[in-house]
Amino acid sequence: MSPRVAPSVSKSLVVSAPTALACIALCCAIAGCARPTPQTADPSTISAASPPPAVASASVEATTGATPVRSLPMPARPAAPSLYVASGLSPLPPQCHGADASGILYPNAEVEPYLAANPLDPRILVGTWQQDRWSNGSARALLAATSFDGGRSWTRQPLPFSRCGGGSVLNGGDYERASDPWVSYSPNGVVHAMALSTNGGLFQAGSANAMLASRSLDHGRTWSNPIALIQDGAAAFNDKNAMTADPHDANFVYAVWDRLIDANDSGPAYFARSVDGGASWQPARPIHDPGSRNQTIGNQIVVLPNGVLIDVFNQIDRPLLGPQRARVGIVRSFDRGATWSAPIYVADLLAVGTRDPQSGANVRDGSIIPTIAASPHGELYAVWQDARFGSGAFDAIALSRSIDSGATWSAPIRVNAVVGVAAFTPSVRVGRDSVVAVSYYDLRSDTATAPLTADVWLARSGDGGATWTEQRIGASFDLLSAPNANGFFVGDYQGLIEADGVLVAFYGKANDGDTFNRTDIVAAPMPYLPPIAVATASAATKRAALRDRGTPPGFKPGPRLRQRVDANLRRRLREPPAPGVEPRVMPHYAFASLLQR
């Protein structure tokens, strides 16, 4: 298949300000009367809330196809957000991992970003991602990147979570690979980072894995030596971590993940916390154990305005016979993580995963990872991929709302506007104005004659999810150019934040046909989004929205959909093999295979 050629974009001219009228005689005598000549703004000095420069970077226009932003007056329909490339060519030296490695290495491939904003100065953003992805798990290093102008320019720094990132025996980062990058800002301006670091394969003799945490006191310029929150060998594997700095108290930082235990074939949610701002950590412990043969994955903590902690997760239950079941669930803590409640279940997670509609090839997406956000007034919004809204052949983006601190949840509704095509890997954020924003990928632009064309979209609701408006972020791209890691891969999750009222998307995109530099991480600040009215929808509007976007009346997942969900879980929860090597599956899958022979 020949590479898709990105459309050329002509460079726009700056429209100068109208010539000022002649001053009256009295004003002419005043030295301050003269008006300075308009100049194009320096992107390195623009605040997150100020307009972008009159002419977007020519290099960004050429590489992203983004429409340049013109000077005032604003158009009736705003142009697509400008994209700013945060990543670059790999700074990592060859063979820095220091071991014979299996799998296919994709140098210069960046995937799976996350982003945080400094609450003391929202122009300062710190992002992170996987650098130089392997086909069979993790990357050579994780990089952090800092922007002091709201996402328009970036400086990059390796994180000491692996040898290629500067980890060593002396500083606690002596690992071959790292994955699952996460960052979070404390209210005092300290930024915290977390990673999964590994040596060797999943459950293999001599292997090691750890959850590592680090912090930066200078917005990502330098990082502390890693602290191991937990370390395991071949008997257990820690996975899919997230870190949340308490927005109300800088002393408290929370980390959560799932720990897969080989001996009893379980995957409880594990939790650790710091009570001294990340300088040290209390011992890790389980906070929800779904029992033998079952596991959690995709744990993530959000803190409500009243201080209640909510940990969302996907619980996967595996009967000895029959298909597996996945459910979105939460546990709550009313004492900053000292104790935790019994689980509350939001809804079934009925994701079937994303495939190339033409070839059937896998797209590795966020189909097993729910995400969550809280509003300033305490409403909770959980978002995930789900196939319940149509024939069961494609995932949509599902959203459920809670107005009582997670005790009860609404029936899921569909966020994405276009049905009949795959929508995947959502992120959710609730702004200070209580507008709910959801970003996601979809394949609506894909055709039978084109490459695997993907777009990123932003959907927003001002009435608690009853009605939605959406717009595309950036230009389409070809997912077939992305690294193949158990499917074409740009990340299990992406970043979406609000910084001083401005939404910023932070996501991975493929570079069409470029096998030297397959992917990049881009930032999309969106200061000129059309306003969304924040209001409670009328009863008639809600009924109409539920008919259009709600779960079909009387819906019950049938055997065919259950089998598709099961197949997606099996596809996602396996370790991609090295060339010529049998894939390593989780112990419960191996046992189930024996029963079915």
* Annotated domain spans of the chain: 84-549
H/E element, 62: helix 58-64
In the three-class reduction of DSSP (H, G, I as helix; E, B as strand; rest coil), residue 101 is classed as coil
**What's the half-sphere exposure (Cβ side, CA atoms, 13 Å) at 398?**
30
DSSP label at residue 269: E
Tell me the three state secondary structure of residue 570.
helix
From 2.40.40.20, 1.10.3470.10, 3.20.20.105, 2.120.10.10, which CATH number describes the 84-549 domain? 2.120.10.10
Strand, helix or coil for residue 541: helix
H or E segment and range at residue 563: helix 559-572
Q: How far is CA 8 from CA 11, 58, 84, 519, 563, in A?
A: 10, 11, 17, 19, 45
User: Do 174 and 161 touch, CB atoms closer than 8 A?
Assistant: no
Contact 242, 214 (CB under 8 A): no
Per-residue pLDDT of the chain (597 residues; tens, 9 = 90+): 434 333 333 333 233 333 333 333 333 333 333 333 333 233 333 233 333 332 233 333 333 333 333 333 333 444 578 999 999 999 999 989 887 678 999 999 999 999 999 999 999 999 999 999 999 999 999 999 999 999 999 999 999 999 999 999 999 999 999 999 999 999 999 999 999 999 998 889 999 999 999 999 999 999 999 999 999 999 999 999 999 999 999 999 999 999 999 998 999 999 999 999 999 999 999 999 999 999 999 999 999 999 999 999 999 999 988 999 999 999 999 999 999 999 999 999 999 999 999 999 999 999 999 999 999 999 999 999 999 998 899 999 999 999 999 999 999 999 999 999 999 999 999 999 999 999 999 999 999 988 999 999 999 999 999 999 999 999 999 999 999 999 999 999 999 999 999 999 999 999 999 999 999 999 999 999 998 877 766 778 777 877 789 888 888 999 999 999 999 999 998 744 444 444 444 444 443 333 332
- What is the structure's pLDDT at 79? 59
**What pLDDT, on the 0 to 100 scale, is given for residue 141?**
98
Strand partners, 87: none
* Contact (CB, 8 A) for 386 and 368: no
The model's pTM: 0.85
Helices and strands: H and E segment counts in the chain: 5, 33
What does the pLDDT read at residue 536? Answer: 64
Measured CA to CA, the distance from residue 395 to residue 388 in angstroms comes to: 8
Q: Which residues pair with 348 in a beta bridge?
A: 327
Tokens for 416, please give them. 């994405």
Residue 65 to residue 453: CA distance in whole angstroms = 14
Calpha distance 116→439 (Å, rounded): 16
How much is the pLDDT for 450?
81
Q: Burial of 195 by CB count in 10 Å (0-12 exposed, 13-18 middle, 19+ buried)?
A: buried
**Rg of the chain over all Cα atoms, to the nearest angstrom:** 24
Measured distance CA(478)–CA(447) in Å, rounded: 12
